[in-house]
């Protein structure tokens, strides 16, 4: 198998104030004529398990991986794992309350080791092994964590892989380092989730409580302690909404999304694809896939899609 280990930490989904919609079957998406919105045509593929060739077993030299902590003059230190190899560096950006030991991150590490590809993963501040308080974080601060780690630890050329909220941070990094990002791969990408999947679904009483106290807590559908939504998180998100206008990235992009995702509707990937300026954009809809896309066949699809971008 590609994956070295399967994480049991159920924390990769962004917070939503109600379940996402159940989606119908995707058919061919006709190319749209460009208008004032500067949208680009997007290829939509419906992925079936039979399409995935299971990977061969390849031994991974774990000793090659460097585990460390990046100290910073401003802000908490950032925990990371880095594997040297050929360029470009593949960078994994995790989701809301997730960490770098999850199944997708571990799968990509093993996959890149088998290819001899450089790989970097990290925990945002307040996540996993990194310092800092989770409630102090925002999409902007977590994007800065990623930028600091990339600037200090990655090669000049990058392929970004963003899972859930990491799909938003992936966009922030690409816009901040436009000359370095060669390609992007989104997994249930959730840009703008603070506004469209959190604030928009709150009732009036919850919104007032958030504005008055600065934080509200919601029970996790995946177990564990309730998670916090802060006013700071929502307000920061409003300053960096990306799905309201064209996104000036012209490199190759692949967007994987489960059609049975209850947290981030699969149509969000179609919207993101339409906002990207480039033409080499494909959405791969996994008909029976959920939000995590962490089954063996999903992980095999992830590896095959990364191989395509690295070819």
Segment 183-204 shows an average pLDDT of 97
pLDDT at 62: 45
**What are the b/e assignments for 26-57, b being 16+ CB within 10 Å?**
beeeeeeeeeeeebbebebbebeeeebeebee
Q: Is residue 23 part of a domain?
A: no
Give the residue from 177, 116, 121 showing the smallest Cα distance to 149. Answer: 121
Q: Is residue 296 part of a domain?
A: yes
Q: Is residue 29 part of a domain?
A: no
**What are the b/e assignments for 112-122, b being 16+ CB within 10 Å?**
bbbbebbbbbb
Is 291 tagged catalytic?
A: yes
Q: Is residue 109 part of a domain?
A: yes
Percent above pLDDT 70 for the chain: 79
Distance between CA atoms of 301 and 162, rounded to whole angstroms? 15
Domain count, the chain: 1
- β-bridge pairing 181-187 and 215-218: unpaired
Q: Is residue 6 part of a domain?
A: no
pLDDT interval class at 15 (50, 70, 90): low
Please report, for the domain that includes residue 281, its CATH number.
3.40.50.1820
Backbone angles phi, psi at 26, to 5 degrees: -90, 135
Counting every residue written for the chain, the total comes to 311
- Give the lowest-confidence range in 80-84, 206-210, 223-227: 223-227
Q: Is residue 274 part of a domain?
A: yes
Tens digits of residue pLDDT in 241-271: 999 999 999 999 999 999 999 999 999 999 9
pLDDT interval class at 46 (50, 70, 90): low
Segment 136-152 shows an average pLDDT of 98
Tell me which DSSP letter residue 36 carries: T
Distance between CA atoms of 38 and 248, rounded to whole angstroms? 10
Q: Is pLDDT larger for residue 58 or for residue 249?
A: 249
Give the residue from 224, 303, 260 showing the smallest Cα distance to 8. Answer: 224
Catalytic residue, candidates 99, 192, 291, 298: 291
Q: Is residue 33 part of a domain?
A: no
Backbone angles phi, psi at 204, to 5 degrees: -60, -40
- Give the lowest-confidence range in 40-49, 89-98, 231-240, 265-274: 40-49
pLDDT at 254: 98
pLDDT at 227: 87
- Residue 182 belongs to what domain range? 43-310
* Residue 213 CB contacts under 8 Å (≥ 6 apart), including other chains: none
Q: Is residue 105 part of a domain?
A: yes
Given a cut of 80, whether residue 226 has pLDDT beyond it is: yes
On whether the CB atoms of residues 26 and 46 are closer than 8 A, the answer is yes
Catalytic residue, candidates 164, 269, 274, 294: 164
Mean per-residue pLDDT over the chain, rounded: 85
pTM comes to 0.83
- β-bridge pairing 117-122 and 78-83: antiparallel
Tell me which DSSP letter residue 196 carries: I
Is 261 tagged catalytic?
A: yes
Catalytic residue, candidates 123, 236, 261, 263: 261
Q: Is 311 exposed, middle or buried (0-12, 13-18, 19+ CB in 10 A)?
A: exposed
């Amino acid at each position: 198998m590609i994956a070295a280990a399967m994480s049991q930490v159920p924390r990769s989904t962004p917070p939503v104030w109600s379940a996402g919609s159940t989606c119908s079957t995707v058919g061919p998406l006709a190319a749209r004529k460009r208008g004032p919105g500067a949208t680009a045509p997007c290829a939509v593929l419906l992925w079936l398990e039979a399409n995935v060739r299971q990977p061969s077993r390849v031994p991974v030299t774990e000793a090659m991986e460097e585990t460390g902590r990046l100290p910073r003059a401003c802000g908490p230190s950032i925990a990371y794992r880095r594997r040297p190899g050929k360029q470009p560096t593949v960078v994994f950006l995790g989701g809301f309350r997730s960490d770098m030991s999850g199944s997708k991150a571990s799968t990509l590490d093993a996959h890149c080791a088998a290819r001899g590809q450089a790989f970097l993963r990290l925990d945002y501040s307040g996540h996993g092994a990194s310092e800092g308080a989770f409630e102090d974080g925002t999409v902007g601060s977590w994007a800065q964590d990623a930028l600091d780690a990339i600037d200090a630890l990655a090669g000049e050329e990058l392929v970004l892989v963003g899972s859930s909220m990491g799909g938003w941070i992936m966009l922030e990094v690409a816009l901040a380092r436009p000359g370095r990002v060669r390609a992007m791969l989104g997994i249930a990408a959730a840009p703008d989730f603070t506004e469209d999947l959190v604030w928009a679904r709150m009732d009036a009483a919850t919104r007032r409580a958030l504005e008055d106290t600065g934080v509200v807590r919601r029970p996790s559908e995946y177990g564990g302690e309730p998670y916090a939504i802060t006013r700071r998180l929502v307000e920061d998100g409003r300053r960096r909404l990306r799905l309201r206008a064209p996104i000036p990235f012209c490199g190759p992009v692949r967007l994987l999304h489960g059609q049975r995702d209850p947290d981030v509707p699969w149509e969000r990937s179609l919207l993101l694809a339409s906002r990207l300026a480039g033409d080499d954009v494909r959405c791969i809809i996994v008909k029976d896939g959920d939000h995590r896309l962490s089954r063996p066949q999903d992980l095999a699809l992830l590896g095959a899609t990364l191989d395509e971008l690295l070819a």
